[in-house]
Amino acid sequence: MFKLNLKRLGLAAGLSFTLVAAGCGNSDEGSDSEDTGSDNGGENTEQAANYGEETDYTITGIEPGAGVVQAAEDATETYDSLSGWKVETSSSGAMATALGEAYDNEEPIIVTGWTPHWKFAKYDLKYLEDPEGVFGEAEEIKTMVRKGLKEDMPNAYQILDQFNWESADMEEVMLEVSNGTSPEDAAKTWIEENSDMVDEWTKGTEEVDGQEIELVYVEWDSEVASTNVIAEVLRNQGFDVTITPLDNAVMWQSVASGDADGMVAAWLPATHADAYGEYKDQVEDLGANLEGAKIGLVVPKYMDVDSIEDLQPAE
DSSP assignment of 204-217 equals T----SS-EEEEEE
Contact 123, 103 (CB under 8 A): yes
Of 69-73, 140-144, 228-232, 271-275, which range is least confident? 271-275
- pLDDT value of residue 13: 40
pLDDT of residue 121 exceeding 60, the answer is yes
Confidence of residue 277 (pLDDT cuts 50, 70, 90): very high
Look at residue 177 and give its three-state secondary structure. Answer: helix
Residue 15 φ/ψ, nearest 5 degrees: 50, 40
- pLDDT value of residue 28: 38
Q: Give the integer Cα–Cα distance in Å for 246 and 101.
A: 29
Q: Which residues contact 125 (CB under 8 A, 6 or more apart)?
A: 113, 119, 298, 299, 300, 301
CATH topology of domain 2-13+138-294: Dipeptide-binding Protein; domain 3 (3.10.105)
Average pLDDT estimate for 109-134: 94
Q: Give the integer Cα–Cα distance in Å for 105 and 121.
A: 18
Q: Give the integer Cα–Cα distance in Å for 106 and 100.
A: 10
CA distances from 81 to 22, 24, 45, 192, 237 (A): 20, 8, 11, 48, 53
pLDDT digits (tens, 9 = 90+) for 229-275: 999 999 999 999 999 999 889 999 999 999 999 999 999 988 888 89
pLDDT digits (tens, 9 = 90+) for 17-26: 333 333 333 3
Residue 265 φ/ψ, nearest 5 degrees: -130, 30
- pLDDT value of residue 12: 39
- For the chain, the average pLDDT equals 86
The identity of residue 48, as a single letter, is: A
Q: Give the integer Cα–Cα distance in Å for 166 and 293.
A: 10
- pLDDT value of residue 299: 98
Q: What share of the chain is helix, strand, coil (3-state, %, to 5)?
A: 45, 20, 35
Longest dimension (CA), the chain: 70
Average pLDDT estimate for 202-208: 98
DSSP annotation string for 238-297: T-EEEEEE--HHHHHHHHHHTSS-EEEEEEETTTTHHHHHHHGGGEEEEEEEEEEEEEEE
Look at residue 134 and give its three-state secondary structure. Answer: coil
- pLDDT value of residue 66: 78
pLDDT of residue 35 exceeding 60, the answer is no
- pLDDT value of residue 14: 40
- Give the domain ranges of the chain: 2-13+138-294, 29-137+296-310
- pLDDT value of residue 137: 86
Contact 263, 144 (CB under 8 A): yes
280 or 33: which carries more pLDDT confidence? 280
pLDDT of residue 33 exceeding 60, the answer is no
Average pLDDT estimate for 6-16: 40
Average pLDDT estimate for 214-221: 93
- pLDDT value of residue 40: 42
Confidence of residue 63 (pLDDT cuts 50, 70, 90): confident
Of 115-124, 147-156, 239-248, which range is least confident? 115-124
Confidence of residue 219 (pLDDT cuts 50, 70, 90): confident
pLDDT of residue 45 exceeding 70, the answer is no
For residue 236, the tally of other CB atoms under 10 A from its CB is 14
pLDDT of residue 76 exceeding 90, the answer is yes
Q: Give the integer Cα–Cα distance in Å for 93 and 75.
A: 23
pLDDT digits (tens, 9 = 90+) for 158-195: 999 999 999 999 999 999 998 999 999 999 999 999 99
- pLDDT value of residue 38: 39
Tell me which CATH code domain 29-137+296-310 carries: 3.40.190.100
Q: Give the integer Cα–Cα distance in Å for 87 and 249.
A: 22
CA distances from 95 to 32, 73, 125, 206, 220 (A): 29, 16, 14, 42, 12
Buried b (16+ CB within 10 A) or exposed e, 275-312: bbeebeeebbebebbbeebbbbbbbbeebbbbbbbbbb
- pLDDT value of residue 273: 86
Q: Give the integer Cα–Cα distance in Å for 216 and 126.
A: 31
